[in-house]
Amino acid sequence: MRKLNTLLLLLATVSLWAQGPNLEKDFADVEDKVIEWRRDIHQNPELSNREFKTAEKIAKHLKSLGIEVQTGVAISGVVGILKGDQPGKVVALRADIDALPVTERNDLPFKSTVTSEFLGKKVGVMHACGHDTHTAILMGVAEVLAKNKDKIKGTVKFIFQPAEEGAPPGEEGGALLMVKEGVLENPKVDAIFGLHINSQTPTGTVKYKPGGAMAAAQRFVINVKGKQTHGSQPWGGIDPILISAKIVDGLQTIISRESELTNEAAVISVGKITSGVRFNIIPESAEMIGTIRTLDYDMQKFINKRMEEMVPAIAKAYGGEATCTIETTTSITFNDLDLTAKMAPTLEKVAGKENVSIHKAITGAEDFSYFQEKVPGFYFFLGGMTPGTTESFPHHTPDFKIDDSGLLLGVKSMTQLALDYLNM
């Protein structure tokens, strides 16, 4: 088996060497287009499950390339199917297309001034996570591959996914809905690749991690019931705010004292506490909402169990009552070990071995994980920060920026991953 894997890697390298030079002109021709598409999409962002104009732009481009197009997938998603001149396997390439309810604060000439409604409030809308770059990169990959059908041994499925940031309350969406609607079938996908731009990694570099690369995300809601009383007479009631504070403190001991963190990292964060209406009234109830991040399913089960035990017990100790409900929003983004080992040499050949590294697990989450639950998948990070700069801003912030010079490496990487996989 070891000899067979070595032979497969050698064949992949030979395939890349043979095909790469023939694609250089196509890559050069598409770079300016990718940057133009990215800037247009950035200037016209749309929130999750509302990406209709973005989808229209994508579909129009794919159709112009002679690619079979499906629209309205998972509400506003687009799927393109490109059949090569030779029979073979099916590989999927995925890009997410939605923006965030963030008001852009930088001075880019193509900055977003779009506003929309989110949870009943007027908000700015911004591609503050780089999904505009993902979309433009995959549009560029589609153009290069469509020009090289003779090099495709099999079929490429382009998945432009809406609502990666989460569907609006009461709606389904994202990768989970795409899977539910059969996006990995007809034709059946054998493997899937995806990337994420990173604003704090220098352009020209690529990072990946075999196995658990990004965390599973869970949302929890804790409802605390006390007894209302006058603020000057706390002994006359049961304070749900005090109980909430004790619960927050208790939850952290699950991580710091009960979880075996030498195995994997884990996080419990309370992001919102709502209680009370007036400064001199101890209220009757409180609500806490937060997130759990885990990279190991056994640890996730343990943490969930302890939260469900601890929350009502702490409330009872102070005379109140409390319930804890937990729902999973994304699974662990798990890079298939065999697929990762086979495809990492492609990234090294495209970017240069010195520019490819293995990163530590990230407690952020990605619903690309739902595709990986069904088929082997490989997800990697692409540098988007200007090399040598001292100014970089985190994702999901108003000042977030990406250096356009990093996009071409994304096009090359995804294109070559598809070709090499199909030629193995």
Strands 121-124, 206-208: pairing is unpaired
The predicted-structure confidence for 319-371, as pLDDT tens digits, reads as follows: 999 999 999 989 999 999 999 999 999 999 999 999 999 999 999 999 999 99
Q: Are 420 and 343 in contact (CB under 8 A)?
A: yes
DSSP labels for 158-224?
Answer: EEEE--TT-PPTT---HHHHHHHTTTTTTTTPSEEEEEEEEEEEETT-EEE-SEEEE-EEEEEEEEE
Q: What average pLDDT does the segment 376-398 reach?
A: 93
Q: Give the residue among 339, 312, 341, 313 at the shortest CA–CA distance from 324.
A: 312
Domains belonging to the chain, first-starting first, are 2-215+333-422 (3.40.630.10), 216-330 (3.30.70.360)
Round to the nearest angstrom and report the end-to-end CA distance of the chain. 15
DSSP labels for 77-101?
Answer: EEEEEEE-SEEEEEEEEEEE---BS
pLDDT at residue 387 in the model: 87
Q: What's the token pair of residue 216?
A: 């599973």
Q: Which of 51, 96, 132, 164 is catalytic?
A: 164
Give the model's confidence band at 9: pLDDT under 50 very low, under 70 low, under 90 confident, else very high. very low
Q: What is the mean pLDDT of the chain?
A: 94
Q: Which of 98, 104, 296, 420 is catalytic?
A: 98
pLDDT at residue 5 in the model: 46
Give the model's confidence band at 186: pLDDT under 50 very low, under 70 low, under 90 confident, else very high. very high
Q: What average pLDDT does the segment 278-288 reach?
A: 98
pLDDT exceeds 80 at position 14: no
Q: What average pLDDT does the segment 309-314 reach?
A: 98
pLDDT at residue 389 in the model: 84
pLDDT exceeds 80 at position 188: yes
Left, alpha or beta for 88 (phi > 0: left; psi -120 to 50: alpha)? left
Close Cβ partners of 405 (under 8 Å, ≥ 6 residues apart): 203, 386
Half-sphere exposure at residue 137, Cβ-oriented, CA atoms within 13 angstroms: 30
Q: What average pLDDT does the segment 61-89 reach?
A: 98
pLDDT exceeds 80 at position 3: no
Instruction: Please provide residue 344's backbone torsions phi and psi, each rounded to the nearest 5 degrees.
Output: -55, -40
pTM: predicted TM-score of the whole model, two decimal places: 0.89
Asked about 68 being catalytic, the answer comes back as no
3-state DSSP assignment of residue 371: helix
Give the model's confidence band at 6: pLDDT under 50 very low, under 70 low, under 90 confident, else very high. very low
pLDDT at residue 22 in the model: 80
User: Angle 278-284-289 (CA atoms, 0-180°, nearest 5)?
Assistant: 90
The predicted-structure confidence for 171-181, as pLDDT tens digits, reads as follows: 999 999 999 99
Asked about 98 being catalytic, the answer comes back as yes
Instruction: Please provide residue 364's backbone torsions phi and psi, each rounded to the nearest 5 degrees.
Output: -70, 165
pLDDT at residue 21 in the model: 43
Alpha-carbon distance of 132 to 126, in angstroms, equals: 10
Q: What average pLDDT does the segment 244-252 reach?
A: 98
Give the model's confidence band at 92: pLDDT under 50 very low, under 70 low, under 90 confident, else very high. very high
3-state DSSP assignment of residue 391: coil
pLDDT at residue 390 in the model: 77
Q: What average pLDDT does the segment 122-150 reach?
A: 98
Q: Give the residue among 370, 385, 409, 336 at the shortest CA–CA distance from 94.
A: 370
Give the model's confidence band at 13: pLDDT under 50 very low, under 70 low, under 90 confident, else very high. very low
